[in-house]
Amino acid sequence: MTRPRLALAGVVLALLAACAPPRPAPQVLRVGSSGDYAPFSIRDETGWDGFDVHMARRFAKDTGRRLELVEFRWPALELDLAANRFDVVMSGVTMRPWRALVGTFTRPVARVGAMVLMRPGIATTLAELDQPDRRIGVNAGGYLERVARRLFRRAEIMPVGDNRQLAGQLRAGAVDALVSDELEVPLFRRVVPDANALGPLTNDRKAYLARDPALAEELDAWLRAREIDGSLAAFRTRTLGPQWSTPHSAAASDLDALLALIELRLAFMPAVALAKEQRGLPTEDAAQEAQVLAGAREQAALLRVAPESVAALFAAMLRAARDIQDAYRAIPARDRPPVETMDLEREARPALAGLSRTIVARAADLAHGRIGSSRPTAAVLADALDASLAPAADRLAIAEAVVALLPAE
């Protein structure tokens, strides 16, 4: 090609490049993270670290998004998510009802329990610790503050604004004990090596909370895939410890996801009981229950899973819900454990409706999968459900309905 033709070709290519539409910028994924909750979210002078920060980076990379980490404070978590400060919270968030009012949870990524860490010689039981002259430190505004206020009705609860200061408060004697969890306690013991621990006292699941249900569903599917390929187990091992190294199969992940959502639905019931009582309504609402069952059957049919099997699961959950509500209302008001106040029609029921749809979706995942040789019994599943939520008979009935969903091999 002669020089004039080369020059002309260059001009043409330049014109074509100038006329081509610009490549769209990658979508931004705004992830809320506290930075003060090791080992899930850590922020210091070196930057961000922690299990959930690793997960956020990997999800953003795998889905072609640009990650933006947004720091939040625990008392403002739900308000910040509702105000659209970020798209999803990834920061060791415990699955709790008041959070399900503002977003949709993914399947859980870890299961831990609350712990109490005490200065030596303070007490050997919770009852000994729950005295008016005792001071209990806890991260302000998070789930563990609610746990502390439920466990300690007489001791002074001292919320601390920065979770990273808790261990120092215990070492300095500013508090007699603190409420933490199984994963934080070993880290706090590096600061207070002679502290004594009680627990675990709860059975909690950590998951991600997205403002948009579609993002929650996308992230949930990604987590399921990472369970299957083993990378999620590798993340857990690296950041949570070698005891978390066991990979989960697709069936195990689907089963855990379903059980977590069932527990979350049952956890709503004390607040629902209080809302009904405040309005002078009875526990049982036949019309509402019929609507829930009809919706479950309809969605099950769309997802090609046996509608009557799904309806049987919901019938068992509804029976458990009535029993939980009756038990709560039978407790004298002065002795009741504190629960969140919810508007029945504007908050609780819409959140429960969204949760029910997700339960059917996870039930369909389980029914369409392969359970293999690790088929659990109803007794095993009943034991896996949080015993503090519902009576044993109700948990067994729910477990039997879940077993009926499992695919035949």
According to the model, what pLDDT value does residue 407 have? 87
According to the model, what pLDDT value does residue 370 have? 82
Q: What are phi and psi of 351, to 5 degrees?
A: -65, -40
Strand 114-118 relative to strand 177-181, pairing: antiparallel
Q: DSSP string of 120-137?
A: TTS-SSHHHH-STT-EEE
Helix (H, G, I), strand (E, B) or coil at 141: coil
Residue carrying the six token digits 């002669």 = 2
- Cis amide linkage into residue 200, ω under 30° from 0: yes
Strand 135-139 relative to strand 156-160, pairing: parallel
Q: If phi over 0 gives left and psi between -120 and 50 gives alpha, with beta otherwise, what is residue 137?
A: beta
Q: CB-based contacts of 93: which residues, under 8 Å, 6+ apart?
A: 77, 99, 206, 207, 208, 209
- What average pLDDT score do residues 122-147 get? 96
**Greatest C-alpha distance within the chain:** 97
Cβ contact 55:90 at 8 Å? yes
According to the model, what pLDDT value does residue 338 have? 87
Q: CB-based contacts of 157: which residues, under 8 Å, 6+ apart?
A: 136, 138, 145, 148, 149
pLDDT, the chain, mean:
92
pLDDT digits (tens, 9 = 90+) for 37-81: 999 999 999 999 999 999 999 999 999 999 999 999 999 999 999
Helix (H, G, I), strand (E, B) or coil at 28: strand
pLDDT digits (tens, 9 = 90+) for 160-202: 999 999 999 999 999 999 999 999 999 999 999 999 999 999 9
pLDDT digits (tens, 9 = 90+) for 81-130: 999 999 999 999 999 999 999 999 999 999 999 999 999 999 999 999 99
pLDDT exceeds cutoff 70 at 282: yes
Nearest to 56 by CA among 261, 226, 247, 253: 226
CA 352 vs CA 55, 313, 358: distances in Å: 28, 15, 10
Categorize the per-residue pLDDT at 409 as very low, low, confident or very high, splitting at 50, 70 and 90: low
According to the model, what pLDDT value does residue 12 have? 44
Angle between helices 307-330 and 349-368 (to 10 degrees): 140
